[in-house]
Structure 1
Amino acid sequence: MHKVVVPKRSGIHRFACLALYRALLRKCSRLPLTVASPVSVKFLVQYKFRRCRNIQSPSQVINALQAGYEAVDLLHSTSQGNESEIYRLQTLLSEGRSLRLLNASEHRELTNARCNKPLSALDKKKAESRRYQRATAYRHPNAQPILSRPRPVVSGRRRVPVLVSARGVPFLRIKKPQPKILSDVIRTKLDKRWNRILLRDRLQAELLLAKDEDDWDGLVGDETLPSWTSEIRVALEEVIEKIQGSDQKNKELAEAMWNVVLSERKLAEEEAERRGLEIQPQSFTNPYGTFDAATMPTANDEIN
């Protein structure tokens, strides 16, 4: 069997095509402005080479190379002022422009006449999800703080929110799907806490090295040098304080949100009794348990 040679992976073929490409570009730059626009001819050359770069058929490769060599001769004759070749080049450019316009108009007509395929249930669900994400990407101008609940009067049946813990960040879920701005806020808080934990671990590792440096300074008897561990300890204490402060804020926010859930639940039961209905038993579990300092994440705990 003959060895199969892919033209675009052949060094000889690539060298010949690149040499032809450079020759055509050089000829384009030498065209007089009165004959044709060098920019349009250069764009046409680049477009043709991009279209033909994946050709593998030997006959098509030969035809494309022959067309390229004829174009080099045509451009050379045009740059020398040959009247017949100038007319031929202008005719080819005008015909190519009209053909592109005709193809574009036909393509638009076919696109407009094509029947739109009905979306499946999954595609409709994805489109609706994308639309909802775009609509909830920014805060609504009339949005009220979540801690302003419970609302004394609501239209329809009252929705009791659910307290959810997103890896330590509390929030109240009213309904699904979740707004995009809420997801972005939670992700930002989690990333900030995780970056502080990574910084804390790096400072703790550097603190061990700084202690070794201080021990070495003590051995050589140079007491005039500043301590290596002092600045690292200060930075480490600042990071731990920020982590503990954010955890304390999350704890206080979770307590306030849990009170909102209890108030909403009480109002929902009262409204159900007024309607003469029995409210369905629901399980309102506090994801944080009892609000004790021992149950909250600390600065020494890592996010799993």
Structure 2
Amino acid sequence: MQLILISGLSGSGKSVALKILEDSGFYCVDNLPSTLLPQLVENINAYNYQRVAISVDTRSAPMLSLFPTAVHQLRKLNIDLRLLFLEAKTETLIKRFSETRRRHPLSEEGLTVPECIEKEREMLASIHELSQRIDTSELTANQLRGWIRQLVQADNSRLTLIVQSFGFKHGIPLDADFVFDVRCLPNPYYDPDLRPLTGLDEPVARYLAAEPQVELMFEDIRGMLARWLPEFSRDNRSYLTVAIGCTGGQHRSVYLIERLAAAFADEQVLIRHRQLLCRSDII
């Protein structure tokens, strides 16, 4: 059985993620108390369901503290277990609640929306630490669909290296394990011919490849990952997210992420260019 446990902050896209999995043929259960996870999985397994997705969040608050114990029990079973945690920046979540006019699940306690979000982060901290994090701050619903499908299709018996470009002016990704700042490198943005292009375009790649500083930065990042990736793999990590940021996330970081993905082609690599994504229809 392949079991996906989904959790995260209210407004981060959990319902979208669960719907994606349901459309992909998963048997889905929404808002299950943590204590019932092992029992439900055993019962479902008896009926030969091969793909199951279950969401756990603050709506079952009294039982959240038991989630790590439930996960420990599930890991003893012969199943492909994956934990996904969706999150977003506080200002993004506030905007989403304002635009949809939805109430936060914790608002009945008399808290403001920012206070609800921070309390929810604290309540879900134990789940957050166990899971592969997905920052949906800059994602559209369609982009989240693609991202979820990629993660689900990855071989869970191997470490998945996720490499991501981004622009610092849009904020640092919340889901990054390592963040590298390459704003000190020569910037193609100041060349009028290169400005409208991206790091995926050959003229930008030629420009950056000719700069010694760019090559030195790339070799330092590649060398660090080559040294430590086996250690993360031996530590039974399922995912490692490496983010490289430049000012706008269009040229330098995109180029270096593509180089990095090629350098680790023998590994299981997923590529994501955050700022090159269309930003309409935000979750």
TM-score category, normalised to shorter length: under 0.3
TM-score, normalising length from structure 2? 0.21
Higher helix share: 1
| Greater strand content | 2
Larger radius of gyration: 1
